Structure 1
Amino acid sequence: MKNNQENDIGLNVVYLIQQHNLSQDKKKLTLDQFHLLSVIGKGSIGKVLLVRKKDNQKIYALKVIKKTQLKENHQVKQIYAERNILKNSHHPFIIKLEYAFQNETKLYFCLQYCPGGELYHLLVQKNKLTEEQAKFYACQIVLAFQYLHEQDIIYRDLKPENVLIDSEGYIKLTDFGFSKQGIQGNFGAHSKCGTAEYLAPELLTGNHGKAADWWTFGTLIYEMVIGQPAFFGETKEELFNQILHHEINYKKIGVSSQLKDLLSKLLQKDPNNRISSANEVKKHPWFKNVDWDMILQKQIPPVFFPSLNSDDDVQYFDDCFLKESIFSQTNSLSTEEQINSPYQGFSYSASLQQNKEEQWEF
């Protein structure tokens, strides 16, 4: 009798595990579960699509990454770092990852949609911002950097194209492909990566860390208020020479004395002499009247509030993206590459993660 009861219990447990696995398989995402609406962004290894999920009718931004390009560019480790950072980041000014999934040839990040478009698009329209307008966006980046740096993550790719504007007019940092974990100070990272115009001097020469993010922060403020990059050149060699050796004449730029002082301290060539922490930045006179809690709670009226006609409105995205074909030529992987795929454990669902413990209760 006892053996029969044990067998029954064992069979029931096996059955429940099988049912769980079947349930999990049904929940696995595929591209077929989305309506593909338009292209809203494009990069070197893929593109970003506006999509609508068929079951809940919600709009998302779907970042599509070609596996062949990742392999060719030696970015497999970076894509996992990006996935893990997005999965574990919960901050009002960092883009939210809803799902991650894959098929034979591509990886997919399903992200919240920011219908206000890129900060870059806003700067193109306005040419430049007032100091108060620039400060509104700068404050949010300070808080996002503070959050990341407290987790020993450096961002390394701050630029107007990577600052998105959500439906409330507030920002979301996106694209963590160059981010690095485990950096505790101003040194410890060695990869040369990022966008040329915004690279910190020490990133060009090798050893760098959190201070490099505050250099890019300075270049972004400069571009917002002046209307052009702080450093530029006809060639990369000329540009890098500017970054390494050219000193900005702050007397000639038409901004307040407080902002001149802030920029001069952020754009110090030597990271040891640079303002390199959120607390230092917050204490600077340019931020004197900022209520940081109200910024964090999104209680300050935004500089720009997107006027939307629908949940899938794309009016704030560049036509050069919108005219792109949704479908691209597929580069097939070999059978060996499929069997030895390095992308095990890539898939993720924010909603399933929240209910993970409940799913395994018998």
Structure 2
Amino acid sequence: MGTALSTSISDLLSPKTSIVVHGQTYRIFNIIGKGGEATVYRCADTKGNQYAVKIFYFSRYPPFQIRPRIDGFMKEGRILSYLSGRSPHFIRMVDYEYRPNENIGYMIMELGDGNLRQHLQGVPLNPNVRRMYWQQIVSILTALQDAKIVHADIKPENVILVDGLLKITDLSLAFGLPSTRQAMQVSMVRGTLDYMAPEVFAYQTGFKSDIWSAGVILYEMTYGRPPYFDLINREQKVDAIARMTPIIYPPVDDLYLLDIMQKCLALSARFRPTAYHLQEHPYTGL
């Protein structure tokens, strides 16, 4: 019943629909993305400036889940607002508001030109493009660690291109972590399976978990698929990652590339490099 309600609300958002966020009117256009938490639309303000609006329909959830979902929305809004302007690799937050009378949350953000997933078509990327993207991913990791933020869901869908620059978005699972700590005990396993580090299944998530996720993206850019891709059964894949099954690395010409992949995908988090170490690696070359 919750799903049917959310669908009916979504259907109301036609090209003629407008929303108001803190007194500013935005006209809604087409859907540009859907996720488990929200739907993203293209929108424009009264001056014609275009943005992305992420709309959270809280009425789709059972009553006992609504308050935690609203709290999560507010947390993501605060984190994105905090990160905006700290690095060109963070998607810019324009405004956000929870409207209790509608039971909807609105998050107005910088509009991208698509995400990294759209550039990964199941085949290896051009080596020069791969390295360029990797350098920017390392800059994202460094900016996150500088801000003491663990993203916890780095994947191609959450890396947006804006005028050719990669920017991280969707911080719904993100949390702050003091630099004196490398990981935090979490209450549940959350993330996107193909990009989740082994320690996540032991309820530990930290900066090194983001390093793993980035390493999976580099592996995918190199081989056209993530590690453990051949395991179609979800339970088998969870078991393979959680039990730290060794990853297979087909031959590559660039030994620096192979080395940095192996370092990022070290099965034990303590053996993975920090974002700052990745900057100094010969493959990154920053």
Task: Specify the TM-score bucket, using the shorter chain as the normaliser.
Answer: 0.7 to 0.9
1:34 and 1:77 map into 2 onto residues whose CA distance is 24
Q: Residue 168 of structure 2: which of 165, 173, 179 is its match?
A: 173
Q: Per-residue deviation at 1:255?
A: 4.5
Q: Does 1:144 align with 2:140?
A: yes
What is the match of residue 50 of structure 1? 42
Q: Which has the higher contact order (CA 8 A, sep 6+)?
A: 1
Query: What's 1:60 paired with?
Result: 51
Alignment deviations for residues 325-360 of structure 1 (CA, whole Å, 9 cap, x no partner): xxxxxxxxxxxxxxxxxxxxxxxxxxxxxxxxxxxx
Q: Deviations over 1:271-328 (max 9, x none)?
A: 11111x122111112123x4xxxxxxxxxxxxxxxxxxxxxxxxxxxxxxxxxxxxxx
Residue type of the alignment partner of 2:137? I
- Alignment check: 8 A CA contact 1:218 1:263 kept: yes
Spell out the pairing of 1:229-244 with structure 2 (5 A cutoff).
229-232=226-229, 233-244=231-242
* Distance of 2:40 and 2:253 partners within structure 1: 36
Cα 1:255–1:200 shift into 2, 3 Å: farther
More helix by proportion, 1 or 2?
Answer: 1
Distance in 2, Cα, partners of 1:249 & 1:148: 29
1:75 aligns with 2:69: yes
Structure 2 residue 209 is the aligned partner of structure 1 residue 212: yes
Letter of the 1:151 counterpart: A
Aligned to 2:200, what secondary structure does the other structure show?
helix
Q: Which residue of 1 aligns with 2:104?
A: 106
Q: Is the 8 A contact 1:95 1:112 kept in 2?
A: yes
Runs of 5+ unmatched residues, structure 2: 1-19
State the identity as a percent. Answer: 25
Matched positions, count = 256
Q: Which segments of 5 or more consecutive residues in structure 1 lack a partner in the other structure?
A: 1-25, 291-362
Task: Extract structure 1 runs of 4+ deviating beyond 4 A.
Answer: none
TM-score (normalised: structure 1): 0.66
1:178 CA displacement: 0.8
* Whole-angstrom distance in 1 between the partners of 2:240 and 2:135: 27
Higher strand share: 2
Rounded to whole Å, the distance in 2 between the matches of 1:268 and 1:164 is 26
1:163 aligns with 2:159: yes
- What is the deviation of 1:69? 4.5
* Alpha-carbon displacement from aligned partner over 1:38-83 (angstroms, at most 9, x marks no partner): 01001123210001112x2100100000123466374333222211
Q: Secondary structure in 1 aligned to 2:191?
A: coil
Deviations 1:73-94 (A, max 9, x none): 7433322221111111122011
Question: 2 CA distance for matches of 1:183 and 1:199?
Answer: 21
Matches within 5 A, 1:91-130: 91-103=87-99, 104-114=102-112, 116-124=113-121, 127-130=123-126
| Cα distance in 2 for residues equivalent to 1:128 and 1:48 | 29
| Residue 260 of structure 1 pairs with residue 254 of structure 2 | no
* Cα pair 1:183 1:189 within 8 Å, conserved: no
Task: Return the alpha-carbon distance in structure 1 between the equivalents of residues 41 and 168 of structure 2.
Answer: 17
Larger Rg: 1
- After superposition, what is the alpha-carbon deviation per residue over 1:166-193, rounded to whole angstroms, capped at 9, x for unaligned? 1x21111110001011343322231421
Contact 2:37 2:56 in 1 (8 A): yes
Q: How well do the aligned residues superpose, as a CA RMSD in angstroms? A: 2.0
Distance 1:186 1:204 in 2: 16
Equivalent in the alignment of 1:18? none
Corresponding residue number in structure 1 for 2:10: none
Paired position in structure 2 for 1:188: 184
Whether 1:248 aligns to 2:247 is: yes
TM-score of the superposed pair, with normalisation by structure 2: 0.83
